[in-house]
Amino acid sequence: MSQATPHPRVALVTGGIGGLGTEICRQLAQAGRRVIALDLASREDRVATFKDDIAGFDGAIAFEPADVSDFDGCQQLVARLEQQHGSVDILVNAAGITRDASLRKMTQQQWQELMRVNLDGVFNMCRHVVEGMTVRGFGRIVNISSVNGQTGQFGQTNYSAAKAGVHGFSMALARETARKGVTVNTVSPGYCDTPMVAAVPDEIRAQIIAGIPVGRLGSPADIARAVAFLAADDAGYLTGVNLPVNGGYFMSF
């Protein structure tokens, strides 16, 4: 007797066309997920490049314009996608920005813009997917933090605070959803080969790379590998975890 093909899991990736997000989308699609990349539509060149990049995936990856800092917009989007696809099973919060400045120079705008994307964005998306996941009894949430949330970084009081906050959020939500088949974990990348890190002044970046035991920047694929691992169906006993992927740059027990 033939078995019905199981419905592929639906994965939303915020920051889906960004430095890490594109590769996360690719690896989730390679793992058989139906992937929706959420990102700002404001930069048309970026969207066009992404569409070229994913052309080989035969429709397994789609782009949806979204601003994670817009609470109501996130609600409408999740409701529409749940209706369209039947469920949202995996959420990866990879949308993130930097607004680097030492605190004595940091403006309130730099603080607020960063918090709205890097921390409010995680709340806005999780708040709207969590109900459906718990009702259906399955969900995988992976929040992207940073080594700089673990250690602090000169010029990043805003970013380090938000990224440390992301893991606090993950641990609290993991407790709330653990009995409902929903896991919530954090991946903390180190310095990776992305436009965000390319924007760090050359001299500072060189010093940072010299301090990475593996001897190189991380690749987006290194991070996506960890995300796909935590998002797997059989990763149900891993929850509230922070998984650092930093080439040994920060080792802790």
Q: Which residues are catalytic?
A: 159
Beta strands across the sheet bearing 139-144: 61-65, 34-39, 10-14, 90-93, 139-144, 182-189, 242-245
Instruction: Indicate the Cα dihedral angle 119, 195, 213, 157, nearest 10°.
Output: -40
Q: Which of residues 178-207 bind ligand CAA (CB under 6 A)?
A: 189, 191, 196-197, 200-201, 204
- Does residue 17 interact with ligand CAA by CB under 6 A? no
Token reading at 238: 């891993």
Amino acid at 192: C
Closest to ligand CAA by CB, 134 vs 242, is 242
Closest to ligand CAA by CB, 79 vs 199, is 199
- Does residue 247 interact with ligand CAA by CB under 6 A? no
- Does residue 117 interact with ligand CAA by CB under 6 A? no
Beta strands 242-245 and 90-93 are unpaired
Binding mask 138-177 for ligand CAA (x = CB under 6 A): --------xxx----xxxx--x------------------
Token reading at 65: 């314009």
Token reading at 117: 């994307």
Sites of contact with ligand CAA (CB under 6 A): 98, 100-102, 105, 146-148, 153-156, 159, 189, 191, 196-197, 200-201, 204
